[in-house]
Structure 1
Amino acid sequence: MALTGPNGPVMTREEVDRTLTRLGAERDAVEASLLALQDHPGRRLLEGAELSGRTRERWSEAEPGLGLLWSMFDTYSEALAAARAVRSRRARPGQSELYEMTELLRGRGVTVSAGQLPQGGLHITGSTRMSEQVSLTELVERMNTWYGRIIEVASAADAVWTALPARIDLLSAELGRVRALARSVGVHPGEHPAGDALEEMAKELAALRGEVVADPLAFWVPRPGAGTGAPGGSGSAPGTVDTGRYDRAARTVDGLRVQLEDLLRLRDDADERLEGIGETLARADATLAEARRARGEVLAKIASTEVPAVPGPASAMRERLAQADQLRRHGQWHRLGPLLDTLEGAAQRELQRARESLTSVTAPLAIRAELRGRLDAYKAMAARLGVSEDPELIERYDQARRMLWSAPCDLRAAEYAVMRYQQTLRPTAGPGRNSV
């Protein structure tokens, strides 16, 4: 029958040996984890940083635990060494040794300081007890709790410091290049919205970097329901770095860069665009001049016709074009861009207006030319039909031709004369001939 003590059945020799092997491996793993934690980059940075906000609060609670971990580890090692010493007395321990080792390995014979017992979220000074008796298993649980507190803060801070400051520095360097580009195209704070935005972005990046360095946990999003880890674990805090503020800044800088590159292209293309606007206005003026000449011709050659007046040149456009040239000379590209867009559209509309005026003024001449063409076509048809010598056709052709080739020309009378010639041509063709 197995002996029973206060902590249950007394362990057998085989159970003792297995337990000592397991606890020895566990001790080595804990020691390796504590050494890794001692050199953890996040922990080293936290110790030397001027912290604020959430990070300062969390680290002030967790930092003292590193010393407590080593203290508990020493207690654990001493208890394990004591059990090993008992086991080494004899190759085949007797009941008294087995009873003693059972008490050491399973009993609550390990004395620890109350500050080493972080239960229920208490701080180190949260307990009024001076000490407590615990088992080796409970001691490991205490170490796991403190380790979890420290590694969670250290790993989260390290993840944020790894992810954000370098990226912020690169973005700040890019912002410096964008600001230089802004100066090259005449964009300055207080004179252009983009210049003001660049200054605000420089302040934002400086503030963001300062906050990331001082309070990295403010940019850490823990994974819901995740544990805190234990000695011998992965040593990383589950969660993600919140890069939203950085991402918004990066998008703003990129948008400003695109806007300024547009101004740079404008600077390179300004001469060509101004020249194009001038050429378009010149074509409009030439078209209006042609319309005025054509109006005089219409008034002289066409009788009883309302001829619309021809508008004058767009002098206001010339003034605005001169203003645009002044802006180009003084490098005011951000003001020149909208003006050039407006002038290009206005110049095209001015050319269209001139073309419509020319079309409207020359409409009577176009009608006369169309009637002349029809008369000649009918005469050619009469020749094909062999009736070009018909006296009535000759008379009506001569009458229509005199009207169309005399000045001033009465378009209504001429159109009627052409129609009469056509009507006379049809019956003259006779049966069996091609119809007109």
Structure 2
Amino acid sequence: MNRAPRVLGRDEIDELIVRHEGEYDGITAGLMELESHPGRQLLEGGTLTGRTAERWEVGRRAIALLWGHREAYGAVLDRARTLRGRRGKPQRPELEELSFLLLGQSAELAARDVPIGQRGLLDPALRVHRMSLSELVADMAPAWSEATAVVEAADAVWTRLVPTLDRVDAGIAAAEAGIAELGGPDAVPEQTAALDGVRRRLETARTLVASDPLALTAADDRRIGGVDVAALDAELRRVADEVRHLTIVRARFEERIRRLAGLLDELDYQEGDTIRRRAHVLTRISDKRVPEVPLRAATLRERMAGVLGLGTRGDWVRVSRELSALENDAQGARDRLAATRGHIDAPLARRDELRGLVQSYRAMAARAGHGEEAVLESLYDHAKELLWRAPCELDVAVRVVTRYQEAVIAAQRKDRPDDKGDQR
């Protein structure tokens, strides 16, 4: 029988058994925690590649060593407890055996292959390795460090990046729900294609994170391998915004059509009224600058009928584009019609202004005592005849009124001594 370095006393044996029981429980608890660690479970259940596959192969061997050492440790401890339990006061042979179990190389490990270069001609290809309990614990330390390092490193990457991937995934699901509400992929092909592109890039990133997390330990959260997460987010936001916009277009379609129909009804009425107004002005004023009335209501109604057809077919992409353009064009047509009406009314307003001006200057001439002067009266009569005649030749009337004004002013100046110049 192998011997211990020294023979222990009964009390020392009891203390060592208690200490080793504590070590064994600690080893078991640590290995069970490692066994249930999320990082280890993901590594064990995944299809690994690259650096992670290499590191995990080393880690798995380390874990196997840890469990093998624990089993050997437990077997020695069980033998020691059984032997110590036989009698309260063990005899010398029992003390020697217990000392060997607790201090000597009593732990027998599974047989290992011995490389051919490390054995002699008559040496066996397999060798049983023996260690003391203390040596077992010391031999487990580097294996524990290797196993926990790879598990923690992989788990740290997953903990950091998986929520990002899940967030993008949730955004895709929300956009897909919106597309379904709009009628499915055929209703919004452009947004569906963009969303498919986002999904493919997400799957590329997720595959890398799942298969080779250790290749990403130093990676920026904004980039996973060749996938730019910021660009992915931006594209997803764009698609989601467009889908939300189209959903709003769909929800407000009938309301906008009613409002547009009301605007076109008003435009139709105003066009007719402006045509009548123009005809009235042309009976009163002879002016080539009176503009034609722009007629847009009928054309806009035809376009509205086309948009209604798009809405019936659920083509909300074109509805969004064409309805907005139609609303803008209808508002623009109303504004242009209002401006045209102002230009049509301007000659009448100008004629009425000239009428008032002529009467004002006639009263001014009368107050100054020039009301009966032939020249002034002739100009007045000519201006009045032009301004009260239909149709009025407005350009001619403007020139005559201007001459009448100048004549009245000139007559008044003659009456002022200080206007006669210096009489030296």
The question of 1:387 aligning with 2:355 is answered: no
Q: Tell me the residue number matched to 1:157.
A: 154
SS in 2 for 1:188: coil
SS in 1 for 2:217: strand
Q: Tell me the residue number matched to 1:369.
A: 352
The question of 1:60 aligning with 2:57 is answered: yes
CA spacing shift, 1:300–1:144, aligned 2, 3 Å = same
Q: Tell me the residue number matched to 2:143.
A: 146
Cα distance in structure 1, aligned partners of 2:73 and 2:63: 15
Q: Which runs of 5+ in 2 are unaligned?
A: 1-19, 77-102, 120-126, 420-424
Cα distance in structure 2, aligned partners of 1:375 and 1:151: 106
CA spacing shift, 1:278–1:164, aligned 2, 3 Å = same
The question of 1:348 aligning with 2:331 is answered: yes
Cα distance in structure 2, aligned partners of 1:183 and 1:276: 28
The question of 1:278 aligning with 2:261 is answered: yes
Once the two structures are TM-superposed, the CA of residue 404 in structure 1 deviates from its matched residue by 0.6
CA spacing shift, 1:352–1:428, aligned 2, 3 Å = same
1:353-390 alpha-carbon deviations (Å, 9 max, x no partner) = 4344434444433432332232244345557xx33772
Aligned mate of 2:175, from 175, 178, 200: 178
Q: Tell me the residue number matched to 1:46.
A: 43
Please say which of residues 391-400 and 65-74 is displaced more in the overlay.
65-74
Preserved CA contact (<8 Å) 1:327 1:333: yes
Once the two structures are TM-superposed, the CA of residue 37 in structure 1 deviates from its matched residue by 3.9
CA spacing shift, 1:423–1:202, aligned 2, 3 Å = closer
Preserved CA contact (<8 Å) 2:179 2:192: yes
Cα distance in structure 2, aligned partners of 1:141 and 1:376: 122
**C-alpha RMSD of the superposition:** 4.9
Preserved CA contact (<8 Å) 1:187 1:334: no
Q: Which runs of 5+ in 1 are unaligned?
A: 1-23, 79-103, 117-123, 224-238
| 1:412 maps to amino acid | D
Pairing 1:283-298 to 2, within 5 Å after superposition: 283-298=266-281
Identical positions, percent: 29
Please say which of residues 32-41 and 400-409 is displaced more in the overlay.
32-41
Once the two structures are TM-superposed, the CA of residue 405 in structure 1 deviates from its matched residue by 1.1
Preserved CA contact (<8 Å) 1:69 1:147: yes
Cα distance in structure 1, aligned partners of 2:287 and 2:299: 35
The question of 1:254 aligning with 2:237 is answered: yes
Once the two structures are TM-superposed, the CA of residue 193 in structure 1 deviates from its matched residue by 1.1
Cα distance in structure 1, aligned partners of 2:222 and 2:338: 64
Q: Tell me the residue number matched to 1:402.
A: 385
SS in 1 for 2:250: helix
Preserved CA contact (<8 Å) 1:399 1:417: yes
- The normalised TM-score by structure 2 is 0.65
Once the two structures are TM-superposed, the CA of residue 143 in structure 1 deviates from its matched residue by 5.3
Once the two structures are TM-superposed, the CA of residue 336 in structure 1 deviates from its matched residue by 0.3
1:380-407 alpha-carbon deviations (Å, 9 max, x no partner) = 5557xx3377213555434322221111
| 1:186 maps to amino acid | G
Cα distance in structure 2, aligned partners of 1:195 and 1:310: 46
CA spacing shift, 1:191–1:253, aligned 2, 3 Å = closer
Preserved CA contact (<8 Å) 1:42 1:157: yes
Q: Tell me the residue number matched to 1:426.
A: 409
SS in 2 for 1:391: coil
Aligned residues: 358
CA spacing shift, 1:222–1:357, aligned 2, 3 Å = closer
SS in 1 for 2:389: coil
CA spacing shift, 1:423–1:126, aligned 2, 3 Å = farther
CA spacing shift, 1:222–1:128, aligned 2, 3 Å = farther
Cα distance in structure 1, aligned partners of 2:346 and 2:222: 74
Once the two structures are TM-superposed, the CA of residue 63 in structure 1 deviates from its matched residue by 0.8
Aligned mate of 2:217, from 216, 221, 229: 221
Once the two structures are TM-superposed, the CA of residue 65 in structure 1 deviates from its matched residue by 1.4
| 1:340 maps to amino acid | L
Once the two structures are TM-superposed, the CA of residue 195 in structure 1 deviates from its matched residue by 2.5
SS in 2 for 1:407: coil
Cα distance in structure 1, aligned partners of 2:188 and 2:287: 61
Preserved CA contact (<8 Å) 1:187 1:194: no
- The normalised TM-score by structure 1 is 0.63
1:85-141 alpha-carbon deviations (Å, 9 max, x no partner) = xxxxxxxxxxxxxxxxxxx9xxxx9x999x99xxxxxxx99995469999x999999
